[in-house]
Amino acid sequence: MSKALKAKDQLRILIPAGKAAPTPPVGPALGARGVKSMDFCKEFNARTAHIEHGVPTPTLITVEPDRTFSFITKTPPTTYLLKKTAGIEKGTGRPGHEVTGTISLKHVYEVAKIKAKDAHLKHLKLESIASTVVGTAKSLGLQVVP
């Protein structure tokens, strides 16, 4: 309980925006590192208040040895954005063989614009980000047409 962490601990987790709760999976993951989940949930919900409820938000939580925590939120996953745009529920289990839907290059451009807001992508050209979005679309079984 009172063991100090040797080095800062990092935790990557996908949380629906505005809906962080102490229940699993958030609760035990944080509790194991000595972080009060209620504090985290309040702060997370406050920080994601501008995002629609329920949109999965990847967060990176850094826990310092003295149990203080900080976290970074990122843009929703590309697969989530593509599935919403294409109107499909799930990607295909056999990409390359099955086609789940069609998407236009304009959709790809808009998704890339959203992803470009991420801090870890800001050094990339929008063209490069767009080609990664195309790759993700292929893995979902979405056909990209001009």
Partner 1 sequence: MSFLALSRSSIRQAFSPCLARGYAAKSSNTERVLNVSAKDTSAAEEKTLSSCPPGTILEGLNYLKGQPPVIALPDDEYPPWLWDLMKPKVYADDGPGGKAEKKRLRRENQQRIKDQNFMKTQ
Question: By the criterion CB under 8 A, which residues form the site for partner 1?
Answer: 49-52, 55, 76, 81, 83-85, 87, 104-111, 114, 126-127, 130-131, 134, 144-146
Residue closer to partner 1, measured from CB, 35 or 107:
107
CB of 110 to partner 1, least distance (A): 5
Residue closer to partner 1, measured from CB, 27 or 77:
77
Which amino acid, residue 143? Answer: Q
Burial annotation 121-143 (CB, 10 A radius, 16+ → b, else e): beebeeeebbebbbebbeebbbe
Hey, is 35 helix, strand or coil?
Answer: coil
* Burial (Cβ within 10 Å: 0-12, 13-18, ≥19) of residue 118: middle
CB of 62 to partner 1, least distance (A): 25
Residue closer to partner 1, measured from CB, 29 or 114:
114
